Amino acid sequence: MNHPHKQAVAQCRRCGKPLCEECYDPATGYCLHHCTPNGISSTEEQKGKKSVLLQVLIAILAIIGGLTVLLISICGALLLSY
């Protein structure tokens, strides 16, 4: 992956890219330069943070939407009861 002139000796267990001896960590089976010791690449970690923020935003918007529908239904019931 990083050294195309060298022969690959292993494949990263996390990202699946071919690795030469210089880039391969036999203790973890991961890339030395791209995958962190816990097995998550920095780009995947950033994507994970973005997806959590997106899920929180969607949950907040869903709660606001639900409260709006509830308020409209209560107001409609009060108006129709007179």
* Residues 29-62: tens digit of each pLDDT: 888 877 756 545 445 555 667 788 899 999 999 9
d(CA 57, CA 16): 33
From the number of C-beta atoms within 10 Å of its C-beta (0-12, 13-18, 19+), residue 27 rates as: exposed
Q: What is the pLDDT of residue 30?
A: 84
The encoded tokens of residue 15 equal 């990202």
Mean pLDDT of the chain: 82
Mean pLDDT in residue range 8-28: 86
From the number of C-beta atoms within 10 Å of its C-beta (0-12, 13-18, 19+), residue 43 rates as: exposed
Q: List Cβ neighbours of 25 (8 Å cut-off, separation of 6 or more).
A: 31, 32
pTM for the complete prediction? 0.42
Q: What is the pLDDT of residue 38?
A: 54
Question: Do the Cβ atoms of 13 and 39 come closer than 8 Å?
Answer: yes
Mean pLDDT in residue range 14-39: 79
Q: What is the pLDDT of residue 31?
A: 84
